[in-house]
Structure 1
Amino acid sequence: MDIATRVYNHKWKIDPIVRSLIDTDFYKLLMCQSVFRNRPETDVTFSLINRSTHIPLADLIDEGELREQLDHIRSLRLSRGESTWLRGNTFYGKRQMFRPDFMEWFEGLQLPPYHLERKGDQYELMFEGKWHEVMLWEISALAVLMELRSRAVINDMRRFELQVLYARAMTRVWEKIERLRGIDGLSIADFGTRRRHSFLWQDWCVQAMMEGLGKSFTGTSNCLIAMRREVEAIGTNAHELPMVYSALAKGDGALAQAPYDVLSDWHDEHDGNLRIILPDTYGTKGFLDHAPDWLAGWTGIRIDSGDPASGAEIAIDWWKNRGEDPTQKRVIFSDGLDVDKIAELHAQFAGRVNVSFGWGTLLTNDFRGFVPGDGLAPFSLVCKAVSANGNPTVKLSDNPEKAMGPKDQIERYKRVFGVGEQQAIEVVV
């Protein structure tokens, strides 16, 4: 596929940014089924949050075009082929990962309405409704904003300029892949949907990883690409679950217990599969220090904030203190990775644990330095659940730069979860 020509000639009705309800991350569908079963009456609000406020999204992106893309997403329905894939495929060695009642609901789903308003040079974009319906807006909304920003920057480029741009980007990706080939025992997946340059570019990156890395490439988080390219769909759960469960908790005792209630429900939902802990929502060390013994038997831990090496050391010490063998466990690194950090972490922890990587934005959106003013450089855009049944959500993270929620509630959560001073780390993506 000639991406440059496709970009040059595209019209959104032919080449929409989001082309399927399964053009989303696998963990979203897994979480959605869990919420559908365990918390179907919960009302939530999701909101777009641009952490990189120097990027004036409302100045770059035409509001009419944004609405067209969002309205198009609301017109999507699950196709027969997509439904067949979800119902019949084997995921993580398990057939019928998605239950018939969930699939029947999903097959009839139309995403709920959105609220869009310009506020200065940014957009306020919000989604309100039942949790299992609203949550599926998150990845689609991010993909639309990220790609519309890319399109705005390259809109005036002509054919040969675009060809050179994508040739340089392809070369950069392939050079990264060639460096990764030299890492013995590498295990790496594409986690780049939410802040990708475009769907076409993510699809190209996945194909490049398939060819360049062979068995070291374990799959993609993007369900549509996984289905089309016949690779594994990769993912488990995210911060959204403990954030909403915690917002619903009544009293400090219930709040302290909420992150473990999430994983108890998750264990019941998946019959002991997909046992990866994401411990950093309210601080990794405190979460593990107070974790029930049954969690020590889970398969592994995903590290998504703070200093990744410190997080891995905390996990290894925790497993040892709980009588578990760390060499039989898995640590998945997934925060802001690029080749240098992947190589460094693999060298440090290979042999001590089973090391895996979820490579995101700097795989699927690394156009840094390719246009004047660096206008295609990736930036930090998120779409988070900000309230549940009228209560604000809170995230502390292992990096205070990623904390979110009302100030008074952040202080309360720090007290309840015993979070002290934290090291601030610059958030790039």
Structure 2
Amino acid sequence: MVDIATRVWNHKWKIDPIVRSLIDTDFYKLLMCQSVFRNKRDTQVTFSLINRSQHVPLAKLIDEGELREQLDHIRSLSLRRNESTWLRGNTFYGKRQMFRSDFMEWFENLRLPPYHLERVGDQYELTFEGAWPEVMLWEIPALAVLMELRGRAVLNDMGRFELQVLYARAMTKLWEKIEKLREVPELRIADFGTRRRHSFLWQDWCVQAMVEGLGSSFVGTSNCLIAKNRDLEAIGTNAHELPMVYAALAENDAALKQAPYDVLADWHEEHDGNLRMILPDTYGTEGFLRDAPDWLAGWTGIRIDSGDPATGAETAIRWWKERSEDPTKKLVIFSDGLDETKILELQAQFAGRVRVSFGWGTLLTNDFRGLTPDDRLAPFSLVCKAVEADGRATVKLSDNPNKAMGPADQIARYKRVFGVGDQAAQDVVV
């Protein structure tokens, strides 16, 4: 096991590339990339960095030259032979050859496309433009680079013993969470913390701690590289990116209303079992389920990623019952801003009513709250989203209006088309 504090002190991170591999990314990105490669490979998409936490001045903290160095390193990466073998030959979700030969041949020859970086005040504007299957693979590594460079800036002036104490406290903090969770019967939890992790080494340590502390209750990690290296299950399905782009491509309101279901129809053709998970909140969960085709009720379950999680689960349970489906056989994955207290609360509330699972993200892999003066290592809300598709702006509404994104006139249009009424705003921590 790497002594992280000594590694930080000895090298000051200079010889450590933040992103070590093209598969140092979330599994759902690769699943979605294959679907996009099959169905929308010529669509031109723009991704853009969005710092929801404007109080964190990234351009003041992070040296532009160092940021470019890390991004340029990512552009030099290509799929290694052992990584290709793992993707081609491993069993994922009980299925062999999850990734098709034509997709793998394309992926094996891929280099990520150019980026555009500009400093604007105390923030960076970072965008990626090009064919959708290529630019979508920038999202996770770009976020990981910015989060880790911000962490390095804070750690840079710390002494060797100060770093040892910091990491000892962070390790203790995580282990105390694990000790609370290990008492929960039938717990199912996975690491979803790649995009806003403190660092790759820290995420890897957190995963090892979860393996030892939780045993079979820890079901895997979304990070493909760690899954491969640690012989763990790679976990993930799909994300908001798919309906956001499909919706932007819609020619009229009728096509717009149908777009989220077109996404899942394409997905239905490729995947079965636990990969058939509905993510309903892109344009409001209530409206999505109200207008959903009956065949979606037969899917394995639902992922709840915004709004009040208990309300979302109750809505799903009611929807399944209305369609004569047994909720106790359905899987509900909670994945929005979780910490151990909320995990324990939701597990107690829904155990026995549905099959409960958790995707634990930022507050697993980047919880340094209260461990540095002025809380300079506290996690913050940084995203990289598809903002344009074939020249049209994308929109996300979410079940939390504080997570909505897109031009104001288009947000109003989408709310009208999808029948979104009043929503309860909630603070966005991560």
Normalising TM by the smaller chain, what interval? over 0.9
| Distance apart, 1:9 and its partner CA | 1.9
Name the counterpart of 2:172: 171
Name the counterpart of 1:115: 116
TM-score, scaled relative to structure 1: 0.99
Aligned positions of 1:12-23 closer than 5 A: 12=13, 14-23=15-24
- C-alpha distance in structure 2 between counterparts of 1:102 and 1:242, whole Å: 21
Name the counterpart of 2:37: 36
Name the counterpart of 1:96: 97
**1:47, 1:383 within 8 Å by CA — same for their partners in 2?**
yes
- C-alpha distance in structure 1 between counterparts of 2:263 and 2:253, whole Å: 16
Name the counterpart of 2:126: 125
CA separation of 1:382 and 1:154: change in aligned 2, threshold 3 A: same
Name the counterpart of 1:393: 394
- C-alpha distance in structure 2 between counterparts of 1:237 and 1:307, whole Å: 20
User: Do residues 134 (structure 1) and 135 (structure 2) align?
Assistant: yes
User: Do residues 360 (structure 1) and 361 (structure 2) align?
Assistant: yes
Aligned positions of 1:144-293 closer than 5 A: 144-270=145-271, 274-293=275-294
**1:278, 1:301 within 8 Å by CA — same for their partners in 2?**
yes
* SS class of match (1:237): coil
- C-alpha distance in structure 1 between counterparts of 2:396 and 2:345, whole Å: 28
- C-alpha distance in structure 2 between counterparts of 1:319 and 1:271, whole Å: 18
| Distance apart, 1:11 and its partner CA | 5.7
- C-alpha distance in structure 2 between counterparts of 1:45 and 1:193, whole Å: 22
| Distance apart, 1:7 and its partner CA | 1.2
**1:139, 1:193 within 8 Å by CA — same for their partners in 2?**
yes
- C-alpha distance in structure 1 between counterparts of 2:262 and 2:97, whole Å: 24
Name the counterpart of 2:67: 66
* SS class of match (1:41): coil
- C-alpha distance in structure 2 between counterparts of 1:318 and 1:221, whole Å: 28
**Amino acid paired to 1:339:** E
User: Do residues 370 (structure 1) and 371 (structure 2) align?
Assistant: yes
**2:13, 2:152 within 8 Å by CA — same for their partners in 1?**
no
| CA shift digits 1:276-307 (9 cap, x unpaired) | 00000000010000000000000000000000
When structure 1 is superposed on structure 2, of 270-279 and 70-79 the one drifting more is: 270-279
| Distance apart, 1:10 and its partner CA | 2.7
Number of residue pairs aligned between Structure 1 and Structure 2: 429
- C-alpha distance in structure 1 between counterparts of 2:76 and 2:163, whole Å: 31
**2:197, 2:365 within 8 Å by CA — same for their partners in 1?**
yes
**Percent identity for Structure 1 against Structure 2:** 82
- C-alpha distance in structure 1 between counterparts of 2:319 and 2:147, whole Å: 38
Name the counterpart of 1:329: 330
CA separation of 1:52 and 1:12: change in aligned 2, threshold 3 A: same
* SS class of match (1:421): coil
Name the counterpart of 1:406: 407
**Amino acid paired to 2:251:** K
**Amino acid paired to 1:279:** P
| Distance apart, 1:13 and its partner CA | 5.9
**Amino acid paired to 2:123:** Q
* SS class of match (1:409): helix
* SS class of match (2:359): strand
**2:196, 2:362 within 8 Å by CA — same for their partners in 1?**
yes
- C-alpha distance in structure 1 between counterparts of 2:358 and 2:200, whole Å: 21
- C-alpha distance in structure 2 between counterparts of 1:9 and 1:353, whole Å: 49
- C-alpha distance in structure 1 between counterparts of 2:179 and 2:368, whole Å: 18
**Amino acid paired to 2:351:** A
CA separation of 1:394 and 1:313: change in aligned 2, threshold 3 A: same
Name the counterpart of 2:80: 79
**Amino acid paired to 1:64:** G
Cα RMSD (Å): 0.8
- C-alpha distance in structure 1 between counterparts of 2:26 and 2:4, whole Å: 23
User: Do residues 419 (structure 1) and 420 (structure 2) align?
Assistant: yes
| Distance apart, 1:158 and its partner CA | 1.0
- C-alpha distance in structure 1 between counterparts of 2:107 and 2:58, whole Å: 32
**Amino acid paired to 1:193:** T
| Distance apart, 1:382 and its partner CA | 0.1
* SS class of match (2:28): helix
TM-score, scaled relative to structure 2: 0.99
Name the counterpart of 2:380: 379
| CA shift digits 1:183-223 (9 cap, x unpaired) | 11100000000000000000000000000000000000000
CA separation of 1:141 and 1:237: change in aligned 2, threshold 3 A: same
**1:395, 1:404 within 8 Å by CA — same for their partners in 2?**
yes
- C-alpha distance in structure 1 between counterparts of 2:109 and 2:273, whole Å: 29
| Distance apart, 1:14 and its partner CA | 3.2
**Amino acid paired to 1:88:** G
| Structure 1 residue ranges (4+ consecutive) displaced by more than 6 angstroms after TM superposition | none
**1:3, 1:200 within 8 Å by CA — same for their partners in 2?**
yes
Aligned positions of 1:302-317 closer than 5 A: 302-317=303-318
**1:277, 1:300 within 8 Å by CA — same for their partners in 2?**
yes
| CA shift digits 1:299-328 (9 cap, x unpaired) | 000000000000000000000000000000
* SS class of match (1:358): strand
**1:205, 1:363 within 8 Å by CA — same for their partners in 2?**
yes
- Structure 2, unmatched stretches of 5+, are none
* SS class of match (1:83): helix
**1:44, 1:129 within 8 Å by CA — same for their partners in 2?**
yes
- C-alpha distance in structure 1 between counterparts of 2:11 and 2:266, whole Å: 44
| Distance apart, 1:272 and its partner CA | 5.9
**1:267, 1:273 within 8 Å by CA — same for their partners in 2?**
no
**Amino acid paired to 2:298:** G
| Distance apart, 1:163 and its partner CA | 0.3
